[in-house]
Amino acid sequence: MPCLFTIIALATPRLVILVLWLFSGWFAGLFAAALWPVLGFVFLPTTLLWYTAVQHWWGGQWTLWPIVGLVIALMIDVSPAGGRRRRKG
């Protein structure tokens, strides 16, 4: 089940953020202001998911693997692959 959730998170991170926000306490108490999760939802959804995962699973400790995951999440979010999916013409 966690592997399926991970695949869905990579395919549609905004849907996963919405489901986690509505049906769990995943985001509770992680952010001082509500602006940061909203900006993450709009601009960097995969990075927002990874940031919250590090806060929960690694206790907020930014060691080697959380940083590697953050770089990968940023590359997914800012990659120009979304422009290639559009039809030409």
Tens digit of each residue's pLDDT (9 = 90 or more) over 30-80? 887 888 888 989 999 999 999 999 999 999 999 999 999 999 999 989 988
Question: Which among 86, 77, 84 has a CA at the least distance from the CA of 14?
Answer: 77
Query: In the 8-state DSSP scheme, what is residue 8?
Result: H
Residue type, position 33, single letter: A
- Other CB atoms closer than 10 Å to residue 17's CB: what's the count? 21
Tens digit of each residue's pLDDT (9 = 90 or more) over 6-43? 777 778 889 888 988 889 888 888 887 888 888 989 99
The alpha carbons of the chain give a radius of gyration, in whole angstroms, of 14
